[in-house]
Structure 1
Amino acid sequence: MRPDTDSPGTDSPGTGAARAAVGVPSPRAVYDAALRAPGSPLLARRNGQWRALRVDRWLGPASDADESLLSRCRGPALDVGCGPGRLAAALAARGITVLGIDIAPFAVVLARQSGASALCRDVFGPLPGAGRWRETLLVDGNIGIGGDPGRLLRRIALLLAPDGTVLVELDPPGAPTGSYWTRLAVEGLVSAPLRWAGVGVDGIAGLAAVSGFEVAETWQSAGRHFARLLSSTRPSSSCKEP
């Protein structure tokens, strides 16, 4: 596979990430390398264009925009795709019970060093506290995990308490909602294809409706866009961990 194409080649879609060819690093390995070398930009490819991801923001303290979301947390909270743990650490520092999960081992190491409780887990695998989390955080584009936001939200519904909420960061108004293949690149490393998704402000209501949620509010802060989702079946929800 050429490193400048977004196509998954012969790999089967629907698995979240394509299998890496021999000698081609996995997206997880490239992400890990970017966290170990924060001065080098981490790039993601979409529709033939490379754009820089905000590793500096992930590694820094919680920003004012982050605080606009964290202020809506009472806990216990689950930070899905917590990365180096800035959000989980900020919640822990104010006495809120929070757990971060990430599939990248080095990200989990950094999260723990920041003062957060964190586990190296996949959101679609077994997790502690299923059915008892009051908030689930999907920030920094993590609504795209797995390339199927509807499936992700349905999984989140199994993890939340009946009165729980999803706090999600969205793409700006006018941005498309849908799945795509991407690659990550840093310091000359280009990953195997990764299935991801974007959800724009304009697309969240429809997505929520077909995933068992409703939009309670949307807001913006410092140029970033967020939404708070509630279960459309509360308070009688009885979803259990499969």
Structure 2
Amino acid sequence: MTTQLTEPAVAWRADPYAEALRAGRGPLYLRRGDGWLLPLEVERWCAEADAADATVLDRCTGPVLDVGCGPGRLVAALAARGHRALGVDVTPEAVARTVRAGGSALCRSVFDPLPREGRWGTVLLIDGNIGIGGDPAALLRRAARLASPVGSLLVEVATADVDERVEVRVDDGRGGRGAPFRWARLGTRALCAEAAAAGWTPSLTWQAAGRGFVDLRR
């Protein structure tokens, strides 16, 4: 099947991001038009799942879909725990790293047709991936179509009380920049407001190692 990539999907294939994944390290940022930089934790993404990740993995039930899986640490950890897990990512290098780590992954957008639609026990939006596409409402509705009627959506949120929809670029801090695309950042309060409109109800919120998470149910 040939996939027609959207604008943000093409942007995440930009050289600064792909090169950082190949190297397994940054620096790498999302840069807003006003020059503000959001550091991206490439080294953590390319390492094994840590204690904060384990609090997410412990809440996964049934088959798990990791949206924006990156280099695949969560998919690999889930597979090691005996879960049926699939990662999806628009960056070929991310998919390749996931497979090398022992996981399964597809090079595809979350908005493309995906296997097991409506039957995933858990859907993951970790590492800021609620920002995909810059439209959290659309992403939450899409997640509702992917999860089973009794499934859960586990979302990592900003620890600050923020609700931001902006245009950004991937930036390596050394002059390399990708194409502009839309992105979002949501804190717990903003996520819960958006989730309600998409048919999700917060079941649990928690923090671990300075990171924030929300467990949403249908």
TM-score normalised by the chain length of structure 2? 0.92
CA offset at residue 173 of structure 1? 3.5
Structure 1 distance, partners of 2:12, 2:146, is: 26
Match of 1:41 among 18, 24, 27: 27
CA contact (8 A) 1:79 1:101 kept: yes
Q: In the TM superposition, what are the counterparts of 1:1-242 in structure 2 within 5 Å?
A: 17=8, 26-29=11-14, 30-46=16-32, 47-174=34-161, 176-186=162-172, 187-231=174-218
Instruction: Tell me the percent identity.
Output: 50
CA contact (8 A) 1:44 1:52 kept: yes
Question: C-alpha offsets along residues 32-67 of structure 1, whole Å, 9 cap, x if unaligned?
Answer: 111123344112113521232100010001010000
| Secondary structure in structure 1 of the residue aligned to 2:8 | coil
Tell me: CA distance 1:41–1:179, structure 2 relative to 1, closer, same or farther (3 Å). Answer: same
Report the count of equivalent residues: 210
Structure 1 distance, partners of 2:149, 2:176, is: 43
Supply the AA of the counterpart residue of 2:59: R
Root mean square deviation of aligned Cα: 1.6
CA contact (8 A) 2:164 2:184 kept: yes
Unaligned 5+ runs, structure 1:
1-14, 20-25, 232-242
CA contact (8 A) 1:171 1:198 kept: yes
Question: C-alpha offsets along residues 83-104 of structure 1, whole Å, 9 cap, x if unaligned?
Answer: 0000010000010110001000
Supply the AA of the counterpart residue of 1:107: A
TM-score normalised by the chain length of structure 1? 0.83
